[in-house]
Amino acid sequence: MRKHGVPTIKELLNKILEMLTAHVEKDKQTSEQVRQKQSVISELWQIIRSDKAINAIRLLWSKVPDGWHKNPYVWTGMGCTLVFFVLFAVSWVQWHEYREENRRLRTVADKHHVTTVMLNELYPELAVTVGAYEKLVDVVGVDSTLAIFNRQVKTVREEEKQSKQQK
């Protein structure tokens, strides 16, 4: 059968066996890597030895002279105060960021409202979309929309007066 380019059953079985052995070896390597990571943590814990660490802390604590700083409630109070001030600072910074963002959004909303009024007064039959607003801002500019609006309103009113006078 190999003469026609079709592999034999034996060749197919050998190929499947090779693929399976490669897959099993890959699984073994990944499991060994996981075990190595776990063994590093256990080795580190064995090196530290909790009883020796606790004894070292007690030895250091006994060397501290008697006084307020030996009171655990004082340390708890100082820790809670520190946590409170850190949380306060973080929330204060976030509040100012949100406030600035809201200010920017209000400015954009006001400009959108001005443009909506402008387009509705000039062309009441048009339905104003966000795309129309963006196109107007791109063409006219953000800061000069009010000046352009006033000029266009004046020209439209003058044209309306002229058309009424001609009739």
Number of Cβ within 10 Å of residue 122's Cβ equals: 13
Contact 96, 89 (CB under 8 A): no
Structural domain boundaries in the chain? 2-63, 72-166
pLDDT in tens, 42-92: 666 666 677 777 888 788 778 766 776 778 888 888 889 999 999 998 998
**Which range, 12-26, 83-97, 126-140, has the best average confidence (pLDDT)?**
83-97
Angle between helices 72-122 and 130-140 (to 10 degrees): 80
| pLDDT-derived band at 134, boundaries 50, 70, 90 | low
pLDDT at 40: 59
pLDDT at 148: 64
pLDDT at 105: 81
pLDDT at 129: 56
pTM over 0.75: no
Does the structure show a pLDDT above 70 at 144? no
Mean pLDDT value across residues 112-138: 64
pLDDT at 84: 94
pLDDT at 126: 59
| pLDDT-derived band at 113, boundaries 50, 70, 90 | confident
The per-residue DSSP string of 126-166 comes to SPP-HHHHHHHHHHH-STTHHHHHHHHHHHHHHHHHHHHHH
| pLDDT-derived band at 158, boundaries 50, 70, 90 | confident
Helices (H), the chain: 9-48, 50-63, 72-122, 130-140, 145-166
